[in-house]
Amino acid sequence: MTSIGILGTGRVGSSLARALAAAGHDVTLGHRQPPEQASEPASEPAPEQAETGANSPAEHQIRLADQRLTAATADIVINATPGDTALARLSALATELTGKILIDVSNATRHSPDGLPADLCYPGSSLAEQLQQALPATRVVKTLNTMLFPVVTAPASLSTPPTAYLSGDDAHAKSVAAGLLDDLGWQPGWIEDLGDVTTARATEALVLLVPHVLRRGGFRPFAVSLAR
């Protein structure tokens, strides 16, 4: 069992928490503000009770804490906070993230009036690169940012096998990330290691496809995948 801290309690963070807890990991959800009862099981926005019953084992594996405590106490930290503010937020946690693996699943974009991605915050770079520069004692891995959130924890739900890309400078950290992907249902053949952290600028740029696909086809889960 691995101790995993997830920063961000939105749809991505909450679904990851449920899936990783169900896989047997010890999961803490990190709120922006300290919750009133940080030691109790997550109920909102990670409703294990509503979905699996009040006595579900996964319920007891998810705790709530503020983001600083979450980062300090986890072996692996997942960034599921909004990408446009993640750099400042995580830079402030440099001490807590020292020596940790940081898996970044967000995209740093500015949004159009309809709320969909419009422009990249770091053209010519990437959020993953910016995080690695700001956190030199942390091993950053980029993944799971090229799909709609339902696919993250249910890759087999698509009719065509999806691809999860890995970018990062540390081979061991990428291997650990691949192990967590396996726990989420990602088959080894669906995982593509692109190389060092600079390759994240390519996968982060793929988010610019999302608004065009959604406006034409509506909200239907999809992933930007590699076909061979």
For position 112, what pLDDT does the model report?
Answer: 84
Q: Are 81 and 8 in contact (CB under 8 A)?
A: yes
For position 37, what pLDDT does the model report?
Answer: 46
Separation between Cα atoms, residue 174 and residue 112, nearest integer Å: 33
Burial 56-75 (b: 16+ CB within 10 A, else e): bebbebbbbbbbebbbbbbe
Structure tokens at 78: 């997942």
Is the overall model pTM greater than 0.85, yes or no?
yes
Taking the CA atoms of residue 82, residue 122, residue 79 and residue 173 in that order, the dihedral angle to the nearest 10 degrees is: 170
Q: How far is CA 17 from CA 28, 94, 189, in A?
A: 8, 23, 24
Closest by CA position to 81, among listed 32, 40, 35, 125: 32
For position 129, what pLDDT does the model report?
Answer: 98
For position 144, what pLDDT does the model report?
Answer: 98
What is the residue type of 115? G
For position 34, what pLDDT does the model report?
Answer: 59
Residue spans of the chain under pLDDT 50: 37-58, 60
For position 48, what pLDDT does the model report?
Answer: 32
Which tens digit of pLDDT belongs to each residue from 137-183?
999 999 999 999 999 999 999 999 999 999 999 999 999 999 999 99
Q: Are 150 and 156 in contact (CB under 8 A)?
A: no
Using DSSP's 3-state secondary structure scheme, residue 166 falls into: strand
